[in-house]
């Protein structure tokens, strides 16, 4: 019998480093039977391309579901959005994956994002104007904040079986958001005003909750622990990137989520999981950032030479930005998450298009810094300049060796393209 094992996946940058495609590969390579989403919510965008050319952006399902066998578990700290989940299931069905909902387990404690929370999120972001944070506009931060300030109003997956509770909480959170948005309604769109004023939409929202309850498995904490404990190979799929973490990111351009391995570790401990645990840090051969915030190594000329078929400027985040590999930020991310066992390096097929340099230090306030210490604000980094070193890009093996030497961490997976066939263990 194979030794029980778990892989914990986290992004070492600002997101978009290739978590989804790494999870897809590890699911295939290790015949994983469970994929756990352990943080974040519907704002995730994990792109997976199958060898036969199908493409899906996974948001609320585990990114390995195109493979036969694994189930998807949305852990306690995952936020869910019923409309988006049902729509995602429809797209997966169109690609031939008809049982995504049936293969999904939702922890009963999961918080549920309600439409008024999404609207409040978007109104606040518009009101910020030139100081916008770079939100995804999905209501994650609003829902987390409400769960702290008004926990009795928060809809949870456990409520899906009780139609009256769903309606009561949706009405309550609408009244709460209406009172909070009173002075900001000048930034609301007409349809957003209508939703806050007219509760007719609650019928549709309640129907969505019922539909999900009928298709997925809503599990208690004990049942979740049993599923994890009895799985042979578990992949914990993180969301976003460590440089956006609620504690270690550069405020205010952060997310309301713990992006370290802490939530995954907690679930493994609760489940009394006894298998081998490996922490994996995912990174690109270059840096990217979606939307506003400090980006020390940004180079706008790379926009022309590094196309992004699955990352555009549409939506709330804004322009997709590119830059040189940033060893200072990577060291900071590794320290923030307590280190990793090995790295997965993606976009190795782009080496020929990259500059022959890497950022090895920042010059900040007249001082040279090869590492950073938390906590840091965005304003702390806007004045930083990158100090560069020569970096090989024509020889893949030399590039990987430089990564290992600079970060003192071995590289375990190499990714040369979008599909699971474009990856290999090193």
Tokens of 111: 């918080």
Q: How confident is the model at residue 1 (pLDDT cuts 50, 70, 90)?
A: low
Same domain, residue pair 168 and 227: no
With a cut of 70, say whether residue 374 has pLDDT above it: yes
**pTM above 0.75?**
yes
With a cut of 90, say whether residue 41 has pLDDT above it: yes
pLDDT of residue 317: 66
Q: How confident is the model at residue 280 (pLDDT cuts 50, 70, 90)?
A: very high
Same domain, residue pair 160 and 225: no
Here the CATH number for the domain that contains residue 375 is: 3.40.440.10
Q: How confident is the model at residue 188 (pLDDT cuts 50, 70, 90)?
A: confident
Same domain, residue pair 155 and 185: yes
pLDDT of residue 312: 66
With a cut of 70, say whether residue 146 has pLDDT above it: yes
Same domain, residue pair 342 and 377: yes
Q: How confident is the model at residue 314 (pLDDT cuts 50, 70, 90)?
A: low
Least confident of 64-78, 87-101, 242-256: 242-256
Note down the domain range covering 181. 112-216
Same domain, residue pair 393 and 265: yes
Tokens of 39: 């943080």
With a cut of 70, say whether residue 330 has pLDDT above it: yes
Same domain, residue pair 341 and 417: yes
With a cut of 70, say whether residue 313 has pLDDT above it: no
pLDDT of residue 134: 72
Domain boundary pick from 197, 216, 235: 216
Here the CATH number for the domain that contains residue 199 is: 1.10.300
Averaged pLDDT, 270-280: 97
Same domain, residue pair 25 and 38: yes
Question: CA-to-CA distance for 69 and 101, rounded, in angstroms?
Answer: 13
Same domain, residue pair 264 and 372: yes
Overall number of domains in the chain: 2
Domain boundary pick from 216, 238, 253: 216
Same domain, residue pair 22 and 37: yes
Residue with tokens 């040189």: 324
Least confident of 47-56, 124-133, 359-368: 124-133
Give the mean pLDDT of the chain.
94
Same domain, residue pair 295 and 378: yes
pLDDT of residue 57: 96
Averaged pLDDT, 325-341: 97
With a cut of 70, say whether residue 143 has pLDDT above it: yes
Same domain, residue pair 225 and 212: no
Same domain, residue pair 417 and 280: yes
pLDDT of residue 325: 98
Question: CA-to-CA distance for 65 and 251, rounded, in angstroms?
Answer: 34
Domain boundary pick from 216, 235, 269: 216
The 3-class SS string of the chain reads CCCCEEEEEEECCCCCCCHHHHHHHHHHHHCCCEEEECCCCCCCCEEEECCCCCEEEECCCCCCCCCCCCEEEECCCCCECHHHHHHHHHHHHHCCCCCCCCCEEEECCCEECCHHHHHHHHHHHHHHHHHCCCCCCCCHHHHHHHHHHCHHHCEEHHHHHCHHHHHHHHHHHHHHHHHHCHHHHHHCCHHHHHHHHCHHHHHHHHHHHHHHHHHCEEECHHHHHHHHHCCCEEEEECCCCHHHCCCCCEECCCCCCCCCCHHHHHHHHHCCCCCEEEEEEEEECCEEEECCCCCCCECCCHHHHCCCCCCCCCCCCCCEEEECCEHHHHHHHHHHCCCCCEEEEECHHHHHHCCCEEEEEEEECCEEECCCCCCEEHHHHCCCEEEEEECCCCCHHHHHHHHHHHHCCCEEEEECCCCHHHEEEC
With a cut of 90, say whether residue 300 has pLDDT above it: yes
**113: exposed, middle or buried (Cβ count in 10 Å: 0-12, 13-18, 19+):** buried
Q: How confident is the model at residue 137 (pLDDT cuts 50, 70, 90)?
A: confident
């Amino acid at each position: 019998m194979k030794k029980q094992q778990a892989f914990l996946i986290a992004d070492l940058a600002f997101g978009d480093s290739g978590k989804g495609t790494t999870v897809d590969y590890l699911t295939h390579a290790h015949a994983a039977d469970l994929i756990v989403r352990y943080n974040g919510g519907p704002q995730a965008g994990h792109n997976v391309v199958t060898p036969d050319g199908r493409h899906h952006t996974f948001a609320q399902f585990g990114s390995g579901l195109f493979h036969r066998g694994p189930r998807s578990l949305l852990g306690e700290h995952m936020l869910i959005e019923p409309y988006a989940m049902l729509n995602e299931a429809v797209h997966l069905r169109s690609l031939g994956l008809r049982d995504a909902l049936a293969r999904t387990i939702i922890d009963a404690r999961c918080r549920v994002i309600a439409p008024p929370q999404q609207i409040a999120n978007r109104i606040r972001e518009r009101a910020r104007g030139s100081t916008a944070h770079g939100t995804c506009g999905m209501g994650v931060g609003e829902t987390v904040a409400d769960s702290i300030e008004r926990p009795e109003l928060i809809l949870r997956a456990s409520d899906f079986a009780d139609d009256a509770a769903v309606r009561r909480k949706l009405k309550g959170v609408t009244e709460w958001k209406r009172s909070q948005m009173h002075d900001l309604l000048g930034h609301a769109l007409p349809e957003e005003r209508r939703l806050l004023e007219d509760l007719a939409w609650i019928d549709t929202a309640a129907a969505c909750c019922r539909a999900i309850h009928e298709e997925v498995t809503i599990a208690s904490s004990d049942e979740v622990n049993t599923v994890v404990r009895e799985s042979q190979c578990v992949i914990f799929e993180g969301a976003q990137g460590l440089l956006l973490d609620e504690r270690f990111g550069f405020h205010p351009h952060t997310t309301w989520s713990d992006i370290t391995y802490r939530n995954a570790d907690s679930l493994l401990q609760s489940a009394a999981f006894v298998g081998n645990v490996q922490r994996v840090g995912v990174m690109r051969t270059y840096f990217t950032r979606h939307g506003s915030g400090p980006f020390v190594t940004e180079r706008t000329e790379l926009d022309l030479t590094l196309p992004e078929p699955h990352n555009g400027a549409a939506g709330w985040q804004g322009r997709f930005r590119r830059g040189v590999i940033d060893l200072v930020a990577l060291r900071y991310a590794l320290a923030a998450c307590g280190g990793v066992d090995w790295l997965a390096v993606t976009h190795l097929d782009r080496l020929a298009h990259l500059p022959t340099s890497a950022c090895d230090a920042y010059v900040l306030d007249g001082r040279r810094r090869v590492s950073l210490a938390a906590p840091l604000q965005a304003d702390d980094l806007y004045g930083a300049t990158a100090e560069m070193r020569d970096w090989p890009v024509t020889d893949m093996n030399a590039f990987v060796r430089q990564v290992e030497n600079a970060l003192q961490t071995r590289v375990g997976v190499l990714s040369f393209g979008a599909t699971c066939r474009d990856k290999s263990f090193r």
